[in-house]
Amino acid sequence: MPPEAFDSTPGSARTPQGEALTEEKSPRDGAENTEDSGSKRGLSAFIKETAIVVVLSLIIATVVRIFLVQAFLIPSGSMEDTLLVGDRVLVSKISLRFGEVHRGDVVVFEDPNNWLGAQAPDDDTGVGAAVQEFFEFVGVLPDDSEEHLIKRVIGLGGDTVACCDESGRLTVNGEPVDETAYLFPGDSPSLKEFEETVPDGELFVMGDHRSNSGDSRIHGTFDEDLVVGRAFAVAWPISRWGSLSDDGAFDAVPAP
C-alpha cells in the first residue's frame, strides 16, 4: 500500500483522508483583533472631530475679530488710571458700522501721521513670532501692534476745544467739562493752554493721563476714518474687569 501524501504548504497538512489541517485560533484572538481595530477607528474619529472643531473655532474667532470685537494690549500709561499698562481691552467694531463716534468715547485708531515716531525694528522673526502673529490675527491673542493708539474723544468735527477756563477746566463749545471721573489723579486738564476748532470729519483726542500723553494738543486732529473701534471693557486681568465710561461728562456740551 503506497504511503500517504502530505501537503507541503506551510501551516497546513493533509490527513490520510485528504483533509487540510490549519492552525487553530482561539476565540480570544479574534476578540483582541476586533478590539484593536475598534480602538484605532475611535482614535481616528476623535482626531478628525477635534481638528474640525479647532478649524471652525479659528474661523469664527477670525470673523469676530475682523467684523465684531478685537482685543488690544495696552502698551503705555497715557490712559492711566482708566487703562493700565498690560490691560487687555475689548474694542467694538460693529458699534462704528451702525453708529457714530461720540464725545467721551475711548477709541483705538491707526497712527495718523507718525504720532508714535520711529519704531525700533522687530528682530524676532522666528517660529515663535510667526505663531504669535497668527494667533493675534485670528483673535486668540490680543493685538500688541505698535501701529495703533488709544485715547479719549474730546471733540468732534465742528467742535471748539479749549483749555483752560478761569476754573482750570476744559471746555467744548464753551461748555465746561467735569473730567474728574476719568482724569488721572493729580493731573490738570492740560498744562498747555490751547484752543482749536476741529475740522469736519476729524477728531480731537486726549489721553486721561494728561501729563503723560502725546495727543491732539501736540499732533492735532485726525481723520475719523482711522478709528478701528470703541473700547468698551477691560477683559484682563480679572481684577480689573469692568466697562469704560465717561460718566456723562459731555452730556451738557451743546452742538457746535
Helix, strand and coil in the chain, % to nearest 5:
30, 25, 50
CB 235 within 8 A of CB 90: yes
Region for 186 from its dihedrals, namely left if φ exceeds 0, alpha if ψ lies in -120 to 50, beta otherwise? left
Give the whole-angstrom CA distance, residue 249 versus residue 200.
22
Give me the catalytic one of 78, 92, 190, 216.
Answer: 78
Cell numbers describing residue 51: 481638528
Give yes or no: 151 in active site: yes
Q: What number of CA atoms fall less than 13 Å from residue 248's CA on the CB side?
A: 2
Instruction: Kindly report the backbone phi and psi dihedral angles of residue 138, in degrees, each rounded to the nearest multiple of 5, phi listed first.
Output: -80, -10
H or E element at residue 148: strand 148-155
Give yes or no: 78 in active site: yes
Give the whole-angstrom CA distance, residue 197 versus residue 7.
107
DSSP bridge pairs for 88: 73, 236
CB 72 within 8 A of CB 91: yes
DSSP 99: S
H or E element at residue 235: strand 227-236
Length of the chain: 256
Cell numbers describing residue 212: 503723560
CA 213 to chain CA mean position, Å: 23
Give me the catalytic one of 92, 93, 151, 213.
Answer: 151
Name the residues annotated as catalytic: 78, 151
